[in-house]
A and B are shown apart, each in its own frame.
Chain A
Amino acid sequence: MDRVRLLELLVSRLLRTGVLMSGVLMVAGLGLLWATGDVSCPVGVLSVSWVLFGDPFLEPSHVLFLGFFTLIATPLLRIVASATAHLVERDLVFALLNISVLLILAVSFVLGVG
């Protein structure tokens, strides 16, 4: 199998896995919210500690938001994966393109949150 096809399969599987994981987490989160009768959903939360550990860990809304964050992380991880693959292949132009996009996104995010 050629290298381009390998990268395509890697990217396709990564995207599908991310989407499936986020879907499962969202369904589980919604189910838990209904089961517990908890109707409050946090807003304005993006502290790294809350995303990773919740308050408490895996409370229904934390599970739901983990689904959202998995979804958001999926295309970003796709760029990280393809930057790595291009570095390994020594396709430096495309590795640099991917890394530049990640840096621009990081700057946009910092400005947007500001």
Chain B
Amino acid sequence: MQPLFMLYSLAIALGSGFLGALLGLGGGVIMVPLMVFLLGVPIHLASGASILAVVATSSASASVYVRDEITNMRLGMFLELATTLGALTGASFVAMAAESLLKTVFGLSLIYGSVVMWYQLRNTRRSWVNKPNDWLAEKLSLGGSYYDEARGEQISYGVSRTLGTFGVSYVAGIISGLLGIGGGGIKVPAMNVVSSVPMKVAVATSNFMIGVTAAASALVYIRHGFCDGFITAPVVLGTLAGSYMGARTTGRLRGVFLKRVFIVVLLLLGLRMIASGVGF
């Protein structure tokens, strides 16, 4: 393998691992186009490397977020049921799906998510709206608290409209199964907007969850020979380093700033997905 190729792979992985950990996105959706268009890696090998990179982002960042008590593990475990069930449903119907239509609809829903988040941010000037636990969250003890490093205070929060977020997570899982993507772009807005969970907690909890479905997909990718060791190893190593840096940065950022960055990235991802759906 050429040293320059490895250097570029490492740089791309470092950047997408950092952003993935910072925004709860996994980073695969950023990495694949860069590897295909900049490095000329065949798309199936780029996807194979990226799915392992998503596992790397999830585990590396979650080890930091869980230790720092930002992740809401109970909420994550509850929503994991929805995303894995959804992924199984999606994978079962993958042969029947019209991929271009699906990408366009998914792109539109990402743009819708970013507009709703922007609207909420503009009206409230806060990265989240504090609401009490609803009956289900109360029953399952889903509410929590975390120490916000940037604000220097302990923040307590409830989880509202739990079933709504469970439903949206199920849909996110279906899309993951159909398109082979992580679905963090839906999980973070669902937790933040539907369930009124603080932005940092939503990001950390999304990262906690995405590794699980990605791990199951990664095994299938390797089994089908979509994993070139020379491409995948540098990408995963770069992602691990980037994710650690990203997870350590999140705590120091203001929630409002994090939400602004998330809105912009979500909008760009939505536009890219639509472009890909209509054949650009």
Which residues of chain B are within 8 angstroms of A58 by Cβ–Cβ distance? none
In the assembled complex, the Cα of A111 lies from the Cα of B177 at a distance in Å of 12
Chain A interface bracket (under 10, 10 to 19, 20 to 34, 35 or more) = 35 or more
| Pair A8/B215 contact, Cβ less than 8 Å | no
| Pair B52/A71 contact, Cβ less than 8 Å | yes
DSSP class of B's interface residues: helix, strand, loop or mixed? Answer: helix
Which residues of chain A are within 8 angstroms of B63 by Cβ–Cβ distance? 12-13, 15-16, 19
* Minimum CB–CB distance for A6 against chain B, Å: 12
Interface Cβ pair total, 8 Å cutoff: 149
Which residues of chain A are within 8 angstroms of B211 by Cβ–Cβ distance? 74-75
Which residues of chain A are within 8 angstroms of B218 by Cβ–Cβ distance? 68, 72
| Pair B140/A76 contact, Cβ less than 8 Å | no
B211 and chain A: residue at smallest CB distance? A75
In the assembled complex, the Cα of A109 lies from the Cα of B84 at a distance in Å of 11
Which residues of chain A are within 8 angstroms of B226 by Cβ–Cβ distance? 43
Find residues 62-93 in chain B having any chain A CB closer than 8 Å to their own CB: 62-64, 66-67, 69, 71, 73-74, 77-78, 80-81, 84-85, 87-88, 91-92
| Pair A109/B216 contact, Cβ less than 8 Å | yes
| Pair B237/A26 contact, Cβ less than 8 Å | yes
In the assembled complex, the Cα of A30 lies from the Cα of B71 at a distance in Å of 33
* Stretch in contact with the other chain, from B23-31, B182-190, B227-235: B227-235
Binding site for B on A (CB under 8 A): 5, 7-9, 11-13, 15-16, 18-19, 22-23, 26-27, 29-30, 33, 39, 41, 43-46, 61, 64-65, 67-68, 71-76, 78-79, 82, 93-94, 97-98, 100-101, 104-105, 107-109, 111-113
13 A/B residue pairs, CB under 8 Å, sorted by A: A8-B66, A8-B73, A11-B73, A75-B58, A76-B215, A78-B59, A98-B77, A104-B81, A105-B84, A105-B212, A108-B84, A109-B216, A112-B220
